[in-house]
C-alpha cells in the first residue's frame, strides 16, 4: 500500500444498535470501495463512549475533497441515525513507519 497523504477520523453517536450499524456498514461498503483515492477505511467503535467511527486513509487531499463534497459523505448522519453532527478530524500524514 502506498502511504496516504491524509487520515480522516469521523466519530459519532448513533441511535442504532451494533447489529444495525453492521447492516449499514455492509449495505454501504461497496460505495466506499468504489471511491477514488480511498486506500483503506476502518470501521470503529469506542466501548468507553459508545461512539462509532471511521478512519479513512486517502491517497491525496484532492481525493478527500471530492468525497467531502459528495452525497455519500452527506448521508452519514441519516444512514447511521447520528445524534448530532459527526465530528470530523482531517490530519496530514508526515511520515509512515512502514512504506
Look at residue 97 and give its three-state secondary structure.
coil
Q: Is residue 86 part of a domain?
A: yes
On whether residue 79 sits in a domain, the answer given is yes
Specify if 97 maps to a domain. no
- Of the chain, the percentage scoring pLDDT greater than 70 comes to 99
Q: How many domains in the chain?
A: 1
pLDDT for position 2: 78
pLDDT for 17 equals 95
Phi, psi dihedrals of residue 52, rounded to the nearest 5°: -110, 165
Predicted pLDDT at 26: 98
Averaged over 33-50, what is the pLDDT?
97
Spatial contact of 53 and 62, defined as CB atoms under 8 Å apart: no
Q: What is the mean pLDDT of residues 14-29?
A: 97
Number of Cα atoms under 13 Å in the Cβ half of residue 19: 0
Total-model pTM: 0.92
pLDDT tier, 50 (very low <50, low <70, confident <90, very high otherwise): very high
Distance (Å, rounded) from C-alpha 77 to C-alpha 70?
Answer: 13
Question: Averaged over 56-73, what is the pLDDT?
Answer: 96
What mean pLDDT is predicted for residues 34-46? 97
Residue 38, in any domain of the structure: yes
In a domain, 43, yes or no: yes
The yes-or-no verdict on residue 1 having pLDDT over 80 is no
Residue 37 phi, psi (nearest 5): 90, -5
- Containing domain of residue 51, as a range? 6-92
For residue 1, tell me if it sits in a domain: no
Any idea what the CATH number is for the domain that residue 63 is in? Answer: 3.30.70.100
Amino acid at each position: 500500500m502506498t502511504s496516504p497523504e491524509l487520515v480522516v477520523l469521523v466519530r459519532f453517536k448513533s441511535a442504532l444498535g451494533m447489529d444495525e450499524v453492521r447492516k449499514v456498514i455492509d449495505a454501504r461498503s461497496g460505495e466506499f470501495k468504489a471511491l477514488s483515492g480511498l486506500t483503506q477505511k476502518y470501521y470503529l467503535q469506542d466501548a468507553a463512549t459508545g461512539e462509532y467511527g471511521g478512519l479513512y486513509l486517502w491517497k491525496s487531499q484532492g481525493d478527500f475533497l471530492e468525497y467531502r463534497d459528495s452525497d455519500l459523505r452527506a448521508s452519514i448522519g441519516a444512514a447511521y441515525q447520528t445524534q448530532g453532527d459527526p465530528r470530523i478530524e482531517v490530519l496530514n500524514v508526515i511520515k509512515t513507519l512502514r512504506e
